[in-house]
């Protein structure tokens, strides 16, 4: 027995990871983080869009008074929060798309393991949360238009 035989750390026989495994794990981490960012952004966008809509309704009730102007400003402030959250969701979507591309290069298409499967799942969640944020952004913009109109902003 030769105890001085070096063990190759990258060999799967010894529990190491190949370069492709490392790429899969990095893509998975990237997609997971993107998913968390997108979910948080979508929640923030929806919450702020609700605030914008409420401020817009209040502005319409107070039509062309000083308070309607204040409510219109509140709608604008909430809409800017929505915009920021939507941008975060957009960046998360780009990160998830990048992670998917990492998994789908050339001969690696046939690779399907825990990490590639989870990466695809997270990318799907990012897409849904991106759409939620996008819808909230559109609602907030409509609310601002109504509030501005109501207040002669």
pLDDT digits (tens, 9 = 90+) for 90-138: 999 999 999 988 877 655 555 678 888 999 999 999 999 999 999 999 9
End-to-end CA distance of the chain: 86
pLDDT of amino acid 83: 96
List, for residues 55-85, the tens digit of each pLDDT value: 999 999 988 788 888 989 999 999 999 999 9
Is-above-0.95 flag for pTM? no
| Distance from C-alpha of 63 to C-alpha of 81, rounded to nearest angstrom | 24
- pLDDT confidence of 46, banded at 50, 70, 90? very high
**149: its two tokens:** 């109109």
The pLDDT value given to residue 11:
46
Is the pLDDT at 16 greater than 70? The verdict is: no
> 133 with 38: CB under 8 angstroms?
yes
């Amino acid at each position: 027995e030769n105890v001085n035989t070096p063990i190759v750390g990258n060999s799967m026989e010894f529990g190491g990871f190949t370069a492709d495994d490392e790429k899969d794990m990095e893509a998975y981490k990237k997609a997971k983080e993107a998913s968390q960012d997108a979910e948080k952004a979508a929640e923030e966008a929806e919450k702020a869009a609700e605030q914008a809509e409420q401020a817009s309704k209040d502005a319409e009730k107070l039509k062309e008074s000083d308070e309607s102007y204040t409510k219109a400003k509140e709608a604008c402030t909430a809409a800017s929060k929505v915009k920021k959250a939507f941008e975060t969701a957009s960046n998360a979507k780009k990160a998830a798309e990048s992670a998917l591309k990492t998994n789908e290069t050339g001969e690696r298409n046939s690779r399907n393991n825990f990490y590639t499967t989870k990466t695809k799942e997270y990318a799907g969640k990012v897409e849904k949360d991106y759409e939620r944020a996008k819808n909230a952004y559109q609602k907030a913009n409509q609310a601002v238009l109504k509030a501005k109109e109501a207040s002669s902003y």
